[in-house]
Amino acid sequence: MSWQVKRALAYIAEQPRLSAQHVAGELIRIEVEDQPDVFAVISAVNKVDAATATSYRQEHPEMDFLCGYRKTCVWPGDTIEYLQRANIGWGSAGTLTSAAFDGEANTASHKTYFFPDRLLRQYGRVKELSREYDRIYRVTLKTGTVLKIGMIADYEPNADAVRSLWDEFGPVDIVWNINPNGSPSLEAIEAGIELGCEVVIWEELKERLRTA
């Protein structure tokens, strides 16, 4: 049994009303009181590309949810589209357990990015949204302005978080601290200025989108 499956089973065993068993390979079955069982693949990859997701689905057609067990796991936009079309939930271990509790494993998406995604999609000045990665969006406003936005979920994003986002995903116009209680450090804002982007919270982003 792989290390991440062992850890996932141990993690789920700590959760009330949940139990889980190893099925085969990276597939586990989660049993929840008053909800359908969930078949989930627990992956240790750093990036779940579309080929990887397709391979998991071929190997385990019963898969309800694909879990990227590493907190740093990255989900490209085409993978997300593929999984959503296939009625397979995706995201972190925390997303998996929440979705299992709610009986929504097949439709769940990474809970870290769920509300920011909704905020952007429902913001009236946004004309078009292209999700390049779980945390990277290309936003076309009704004015025609195009902005690339990167998200950081930390409570207190620091300079390294901003630089790492830039290094990993390329230049962005805006770094959005999506933690609702978050507050970027002064060093994070300064790192953004050095790189050439703004580091903002939602209220500031709204204003930026309103005036861009």
Partner 1 sequence: MTAGEIAAHLLGSCRSLKQFDAYMFGSTLRGIGEDVDILVVGSSGDALSQLKQELQAAGEFLPLHILYMLPSEERRTNFVTREKCVQLGLVMVAAEI
Per CB under 8 A, 7 contacts partner 1: yes
Per CB under 8 A, 158 contacts partner 1: yes
What is the nearest approach in angstroms of partner 1 to the Cβ of residue 205?
22
What is the nearest approach in angstroms of partner 1 to the Cβ of residue 161?
8
Q: What span, in angstroms and rounded, lies between the C-alpha atoms of 117 and 26?
A: 29
Q: Which of 157, 152, 160 is nearest to 185 (CA)?
A: 157
Binding string, residues 8-37; x marks residues near partner 1 by CB under 8 A: --xx--x-----------------------
> What is the footprint of partner 1 within residues 181-210 (CB under 8 A)?
185-187
Q: What span, in angstroms and rounded, lies between the C-alpha atoms of 14 and 130?
A: 38
Among 81, 102, 128, 160, binds partner 1 (CB under 8 A): 160
Which residues contact residue 58 at a Cβ distance below 8 angstroms, ignoring those fewer than 6 apart?
A: none
Instruction: Tell me phi and psi for residue 38, to 5 degrees.
Output: -120, 125
Can you say how many angstroms the Cα of residue 12 is from the centroid of all Cα atoms in its chain? Answer: 20
Size of the site for partner 1 (CB under 8 A): 25
Q: Which is nearer to partner 1, 94 or 103 (CB)?
A: 94
Task: Say what angle helices 186-195 and 159-169 make with each other, to 10 degrees.
Answer: 30
Task: Say what angle helices 50-59 and 77-85 make with each other, to 10 degrees.
Answer: 30
> What is the footprint of partner 1 within residues 66-105 (CB under 8 A)?
69-72, 92-94
Q: Which of 18, 47, 12 is nearest to 132 (CA)?
A: 47
Per CB under 8 A, 3 contacts partner 1: yes
Q: Which stretch binds partner 1 (CB under 8 A): 115-123, 160-168, 170-178, 200-208?
A: 160-168
Could you list the residues that contact partner 1 (CB under 8 A)?
Answer: 3-4, 7, 10-11, 14, 44, 69-72, 92-94, 154, 156, 158-161, 163-164, 185-187
